Structure 1
Amino acid sequence: MTAPRTTTTARRALAVAGVVALLASGCGSRPGAASGSGEATDADGTVSMVMAPDPVWKWLTDQGIKEEMEDEAGIRIETSSSWDEFGVYAGGHADVVSAASYEVPDLEEQTGEEATIFGKFNSDRSILAVPADSDAQTICDLKGKRIVTHSAVSITIMWGVYAREFCDLDLRAGGGDFELVVTDPQNAAALIERGDADAGLLLPDFSIAQLSSGAVKPLYDSKSVSQIYAENFSSDPDQVTHPQNNVFVARKAWVEKNPEEAAFLIEVWNRGVQEWAEHRDEIIDAYPEDFAAETPEQKAFIKDWVSTKYDWFVDTTYLDQAWVDSETELFDLMKEAGYVDEDVAEPDFTILEQS
């Protein structure tokens, strides 16, 4: 079965084409970015990165940490903010992109260039939730039901893998055993509350109002995709950082040609997760918009969630071989479930030494 793979590729191709056309009309490739010829240029002390809005990066910037580290290293990181990081990167307008590890094969297919994962950041935090009065206990009980999600790919890929593995059901856009409805992440839980959806693949931080009021209830004891993966599929069940929703990805040729810049980027982000571990509540208070928390009660709710249920930020951005081996197991599972073609190679990983 390769239908989910085909659907993913087609959607990505449209997204990439649109973003490339938009960028081509307004700007050229950023310094160090690939020109489309497959040849990486010298970054010359500058790293361009595209990313979704991120509270840890804002904290590093506003606290002066990023600038201080840049001055000491003599390297600058230029970032652009976009919810379609994939398209900006594929258009050659960034050296580095944050993406889900399981999206890298599609990224390589769209760019025609080999990529490498050289750091990690966020695990998949999505949960499956239903209305408060629902009798459903698992995804298997939702066959034929309307399920809302914020993407036909991304988190839906992993929940589709679970539907296939747990009950041999097909969760995908445009067909399968469920009615998949795509909407903005901040609207998903509200659709369940109103009765316009029977279930949803939710990001807890975008669903605070409905989760805190009890209007929707999480299945699987509120466990995230990563926690479910650890319990059911990982060779290391104590490791709950797989799969990754945000890894740092670049063209392999760029990392090979610019090792100092690549290492510096991961060093800065590693400082970021250290800051998160030490100042988590302060970061939530400083940037509540990045957690969809508008009131003191909602801030308290998401603080409790990351403290007692699941914190999706990694302890370190650096890779080691044991972690790489465990993350690679994911692709065998995706192939088994039909979400990756059998002949697609696993992503390449570059392990950087921590300074």
Structure 2
Amino acid sequence: MSTARIFRPHRSRLVAAAGVIALLVSGCGSRPGAAKGGEAKDAGGVVNMVMAPDPVWKWMESQGIKQQMEEEAGIQVLTSSSWDEYGVYAGGHADVVSAASYEVPDLEKQTGEKTTIFGKFNSDRSILAVSAKSNAQTICDLKGKKIVTHSAVSITIMWGVYARKFCNLDLRAGGGDFELVVTDPQNAAGLIERGDADAGLLLPDFSIPQLSSGAIKPLYDSKSVSQIYAEKFSSDPQNVTHPQNNVFVARKAWVEKNPDEAAFLVKIWDRGVQEWAKNRDAIVKAYPEDFAAETPEEKAFIQDWLANKYDWFVDTTYLDQAWVDSETKLFELMKETGFVDKNTPAPDFTIIPKS
């Protein structure tokens, strides 16, 4: 069984509310408090976080929720919006990164720094889709074909695990049994539609026009990575929150030195998923650009997908031991399929009690 440290935040800082300014910082330049070279500094009431563009965060800002919570806590969250969260964090330009749990071993390898996972947000929603004209039924039928994805790591790792497990094929960048092409997530489905790729590892919310028109078709009954994992590998098939495509990851030393800031980050995002549960359709309508949904029909399509196929937002961002144990089992599968060295330890988890 996996173990995770139980985390007890310090008492809240007493900071005047007027001194807290809510900022949304674009770009990925280094900012005060950002970790560099493994250095763990006192964050001083500031959390530098890098993440992909997120509609829930925008909603929290537009509704004044983020600002109110920051003022009450005396802590700011400064965000850099990037599709290359991995690179921004690895370059030392952020304290916290929203990354896939299965990326963490490689992230530690690249940075040489021990990290810890201390919150969760999104399960892996990616699907495998092919042209409407394709006869492929599974990933095994795509050997030698050109597959498009938005990252050489991220979702590609899990589909690579499945390719190895289901048909002993090698799906990864730089070789293997498939031709892997990396592009922006907004462009991936279009490449399949135009015939420039045979298949794609896609985010459904960035593939709406092609999915809704029938130009491309999902395999595995439109199931996401997390739904397939629950069905094929989990002891709890009803739990579709594994694996996580967005967990909150930081250098372990940073979390230990800045418990108030780490606890606040989990708390504010937990409020975010509560807002999502209550206002999902309103958030989609308010920020259709984050779902690549332009027309009323496209908005209705993704709303239906979320309601009837898969909603990838978690119920709570807080970790508990049972969840940690289940997520950790993923890394045994990664070792079995060669995506993690057998001697690599499972990621570290920090459990922050709900306040």
TM-score greater than 0.5 by the shorter chain: yes
1:60-112: per-residue Cα shift (whole Å, max 9, x none)?
A: 01110001111111111111212222222222222111111111112212222
**Match of 2:293, SS?**
coil
State the one-letter code of the partner of 1:295.
Answer: T
Per-residue deviation, 1:150: 1.5
1:32-82: per-residue Cα shift (whole Å, max 9, x none)?
A: 33332x341111211111111110001101110001111111111111212
In 2: Cα distance, 1:253 partner to 1:114 partner: 8
State the one-letter code of the partner of 2:329.
Answer: E
In 2: Cα distance, 1:277 partner to 1:317 partner: 13
State the one-letter code of the partner of 1:97.
Answer: V
Per-residue deviation, 1:294: 0.8
RMSD across aligned positions (CA)? 1.4
Is 2:124 the counterpart of 1:92?
Answer: no
Per-residue deviation, 1:308: 0.3
Structure showing the higher helix proportion among its residues: 1
In 2: Cα distance, 1:316 partner to 1:84 partner: 25
**Match of 2:120, SS?**
strand
State the one-letter code of the partner of 1:32.
Answer: G
In 2: Cα distance, 1:93 partner to 1:178 partner: 34
1:239-260: per-residue Cα shift (whole Å, max 9, x none)?
A: 1011111100111111111111
Which residue of structure 2 lines up, in the alignment, with residue 294 of structure 1?
A: 294
**Match of 2:274, SS?**
helix
Which residue of structure 1 lines up, in the alignment, with residue 35 of structure 2?
A: 34
**Match of 1:350, SS?**
strand
State percent identity of aligned pairs.
82
Matched ranges for 1:121-136 at <5 A: 121-136=121-136
Which residue of structure 1 lines up, in the alignment, with residue 46 of structure 2?
A: 46
In 2: Cα distance, 1:93 partner to 1:197 partner: 34
Which residue of structure 2 lines up, in the alignment, with residue 217 of structure 1?
A: 217
**Match of 1:35, SS?**
coil
Unaligned runs of 5+ in 2: 1-26
In 1: Cα distance, 2:80 partner to 2:308 partner: 33
State the one-letter code of the partner of 2:327.
Answer: E
Which residue of structure 1 lines up, in the alignment, with residue 13 of structure 2?
A: none
Is 2:305 the counterpart of 1:285?
Answer: no
Structure 1 residues 263-272 or 76-85, which shifts more?
76-85
Per-residue deviation, 1:126: 0.6
Which residue of structure 1 lines up, in the alignment, with residue 255 of structure 2?
A: 255
Is 2:328 the counterpart of 1:314?
Answer: no
Which residue of structure 1 lines up, in the alignment, with residue 329 of structure 2?
A: 329
In 1: Cα distance, 2:187 partner to 2:75 partner: 40
State the one-letter code of the partner of 2:112.
Answer: G
**Match of 1:151, SS?**
coil
Which residue of structure 2 lines up, in the alignment, with residue 194 of structure 1?
A: 194
In 1: Cα distance, 2:262 partner to 2:162 partner: 34
In 1: Cα distance, 2:91 partner to 2:305 partner: 37
Is 2:147 the counterpart of 1:147?
Answer: yes
Structure 1 residues 241-250 or 128-137, which shifts more?
128-137
In 2: Cα distance, 1:53 partner to 1:63 partner: 17
Structure 1 residues 192-201 or 251-260, which shifts more?
192-201
In 1: Cα distance, 2:125 partner to 2:43 partner: 33
Unaligned runs of 5+ in 1: 1-21
1:192-236: per-residue Cα shift (whole Å, max 9, x none)?
A: 112222211111111101110111111110000000001001122
In 2: Cα distance, 1:119 partner to 1:340 partner: 22
In 2: Cα distance, 1:199 partner to 1:49 partner: 33
In 2: Cα distance, 1:174 partner to 1:265 partner: 36
In 1: Cα distance, 2:88 partner to 2:249 partner: 13
In 2: Cα distance, 1:293 partner to 1:252 partner: 38
Per-residue deviation, 1:175: 1.9
Structure 1 runs of 4+ with >4 Å offset = none
1:146-184: per-residue Cα shift (whole Å, max 9, x none)?
A: 212122221111111101000111112232111222222
